């Protein structure tokens, strides 16, 4: 209860930028830049470059939105210390326009990647595993759910500090 009142006291600058102008466009720019980067490397075929683009984008998205907890600055007395960015966005509400967009981008990238890899089983498996790794944490039933062997219980850090 105390954390909820702290969270509503001051706007969360860590997660509010995702609703700003251009925040959606940066995802498309990053995907295009990754595709260009992997395409200009000699010896990498088109299907491999699409799979690498997919995997690197999904890994970066997972790392940014689901792995890192807390905020990089101290202005709200630790109210967001146990929340990752996805949980901080839009005050934890599900299916807001921003969250729908961020759920759609990996799915579209997966579909494009599998199309350009000609549905090869190896590439498809890599692409679908990357997709599942980034989509499952975005679903409502996994809100504030932690995989124990990776990051511990969300309240562990808070309890250790007391």
> Over the stretch 3-38, which tens digit does the pLDDT of each residue have?
554 555 566 666 677 777 888 999 999 999 999 999
The pLDDT score that the predictor gives to residue 33 is 97
Residue of 98 and 84 predicted with greater confidence: 98
Interatomic CA distance for residues 27 and 19, integer angstroms: 13
Coil, strand, or helix at residue 17?
helix
Count the Cβ atoms, other than its own, within 10 Å of residue 9: 10
Task: Read off the pTM.
Answer: 0.79
Cross-strand partners of 69: 84
**Within a 13 Å sphere around the CA of 3, how many CA atoms are in the beta-carbon half?**
12
Of all residues in the chain, the percent with pLDDT exceeding 70 is 71
For 18-24, which contacts have Cβ atoms below 8 Å and span 24 or more sequence positions?
18/85, 18/89, 18/98, 18/102, 19/90, 19/98, 23/98, 24/98, 24/101
């Amino acid at each position: 209860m105390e954390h909820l009142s702290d969270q509503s006291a001051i706007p969360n600058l860590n997660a509010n930028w995702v609703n700003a102008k251009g925040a959606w466009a940066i995802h498309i720019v990053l995907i295009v830049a990754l595709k260009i980067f992997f395409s200009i490397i000699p010896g990498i075929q088109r299907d491999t470059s699409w799979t690498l683009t997919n995997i690197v984008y999904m890994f970066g998205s997972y790392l940014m939105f689901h792995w890192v907890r807390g905020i990089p600055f101290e202005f709200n007395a630790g109210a967001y210390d146990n929340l990752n960015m996805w949980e901080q966005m839009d005050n934890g509400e599900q299916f807001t326009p921003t969250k729908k967009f961020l759920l759609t981008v990996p799915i579209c990238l997966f579909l494009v990647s599998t199309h350009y890899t000609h549905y090869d089983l190896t590439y498809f498996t890599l692409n679908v595993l990357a997709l599942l790794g980034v989509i499952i944490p975005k679903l409502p039933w996994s809100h504030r759910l932690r995989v124990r062997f990776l990051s511990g219980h969300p309240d562990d850090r808070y309890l250790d500090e007391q």
